[in-house]
Amino acid sequence: MDHSSSFDTPDPSYAELIAARPSLDMHAHDGLLMDGVPLAAIADAVGTPSWVYSAATITRRARRLREALAPIGAHIHYAVKANDHLAVLGLLAAEGCGADVVSAGELARARRAGIDPADIVFSGVGKTNGELREALGCGVGQINVESAEELDMLSAVASSMGATARIALRVNPDVDAGTHAKITTGKAENKFGIPYRDAVNLALRASSLPGIQFRGIALHIGSQILSMTPYRAAYARAAELVGILRRQGLVIDVVDCGGGLGIPYRDEPAAAPEALAGAIKAELGGLNLKLMVEPGRWLVGPAGILLTSVVLVKFTGERRFVVLDAAMNDLIRPSLYEAWHGILPVSPVDAVAPQVLADVVGPVCESGDTFARGRSLPAFRPDARVAILDTGAYGAVMSSTYNARPLAAQVLVADGGWKLIRPRQSIEDLWRDEIVPAPQG
Ligand code: LLP
């Protein structure tokens, strides 16, 4: 049977997956629990597929990161793109996080969640005139400028409003983050940032433009980074640039160290926030800078699961397919990045049942609608509940309604109970805003 896996090590067992995730537990009677709440009860009440987030995990991780960064005085600007639900933003805001946003929509969400505009950084490679105006109008703390063209646009917009934009130049350090090609951003061939060799000239230009206050530099080299080596290389280049620019007489008081800190999805060694703080300190410490980070995934990824049900188990020749009621339109990471996500049975009976190898797929009409290949799972019966792990980041936010599949419900587990934080979209919602022109004549 070809169940070839691209990994050298066997998949972690259920016990290993659970042990590595403090919010999860397997109870002999109630089955899989999140922070003590049976996931089966949530599935019974709201149906599947549903995203379920652990508030305690989000809060705990925000505190851990904040404490790790405290010695170097670095401030967290949560990358809203990872999970933009207002309840999630609210939890992070309560822990003192600012926000990193990349669109007018994310800016509005962050503000709606109570984050002070002064604590918001606006990033992104293609901010429109309208978005720049919006950002300046509400007084965002910093705009990360990604090109000479954008610098001119921003100068014009700010001048026309009589405003001053506090900016950092996002410099592309040409460092390979060693992550998936679709989520690496710091290589010279990527569309992001300003080429390192152009940074000095552009910074000098920025300092002379009307409506612009040049503050420093920003870097973001990619996502799901587990090694400190690329971070150290990027921060070393940032430090070098700070030195060069200061010698040119520029005032630099900000370095935005970006996001990208990875999480263990399978059996990867966890990247410690203390190690990131150490890498920042080693290269940028002692330079009298205001330091910032923009993590998304690390804060919220491990806090979420996608709760789904088995529709049926089908066999084709030698292959066993577990077909779920969740699909690539809900969670696209496996299809898009070949991402590995842990999959656990929810029922205590399934948890101890003999295991067989199966491919886990969704019902969407594409072969790419595959969550896992050759996974050891019980011989599920229809309606068995399944949890797909570590989907708190880049899960619901990347959903679509492809195949006319309504957006899944979202649930927050907190204080020993749970709350529906977004109802499942109805079928009628799918066409509610569609306009069918009346026939002419
Ligand atoms: N800052 C900037 C400028 C970014 O572009 C990103 C992510 C972040 C911060 C946050 O990165 P994080 O800490 O979450 O790694 N959809 C992909 C990930 C795309 C990340 C895009 N940029 C995935 O599901 O793996």
CA distances from 179 to 176, 304, 316 (A): 8, 22, 34
Average pLDDT, the chain: 96
Q: Who contacts 259 (Cβ-Cβ below 8 Å, separation ≥6)?
A: 79, 100, 220, 223, 293, 294, 295, 296, 297, 298
380-386 average pLDDT score: 98
What residue's CA is closest to ligand 1, atom 24? 394
Q: Please give the pLDDT value at position 192.
A: 83
At 121, list the tokens. Answer: 């950084």
At 213, list the tokens. Answer: 């206050």
Give the pLDDT confidence of 308-332 residue by residue, as tens digits. Answer: 999 999 999 889 999 999 999 999 9
At 18, list the tokens. Answer: 């659970």
Which residues' Cβ are closer than 6 Å to ligand 1? 79, 81-82, 100, 123, 183, 220, 223-224, 258-261, 294-298, 333, 337, 393-394
State the pLDDT confidence band at 211, using cuts at 50, 70 and 90: very high
Q: Please give the pLDDT value at position 183.
A: 67
State the pLDDT confidence band at 78, using cuts at 50, 70 and 90: very high
Q: Please give the pLDDT value at position 317.
A: 86
pLDDT at 37 over 60: yes
pLDDT at 162 over 50: yes
Phi, psi of 318 (to 5 degrees): -90, -10
Examine the residue annotation and report whether 97 is marked as an active-site residue of this protein. Answer: no
Span from the CA of 260 to the centroid of ligand 1 (angstroms)? 6
86-109 average pLDDT score: 98
Q: In testing the pocket of ligand 1, which one of 180, 190, 297 has its CB within 8 Å of the most ligand atoms? A: 297
Residue-range domains of the chain with CATH? 4-54+301-431 (2.40.37.10), 123-295 (3.20.20.10)
- What 13-18 contacts at long range (C-beta under 8 Å, 24+ apart), as own/partner pairs, is 14/344, 14/345, 14/351, 16/267, 17/342, 17/344, 17/389, 18/344
Q: Please give the pLDDT value at position 1.
A: 36
What is the distance between the alpha carbons of residues 179 and 338, in angstroms, rounded to a whole number? 12
Q: Please give the pLDDT value at position 240.
A: 97
356-374 average pLDDT score: 97
pLDDT at 185 over 90: no
What residue's CA is closest to ligand 1, atom 9? 259
Name which residue leads in pLDDT, 107 or 2.
107
Residue of 97, 138, 257, 365 marked catalytic: 365
Q: Please give the pLDDT value at position 5.
A: 56
pTM of the full predicted structure?
A: 0.96
Q: Please give the pLDDT value at position 132.
A: 98
pLDDT at 2 over 50: no
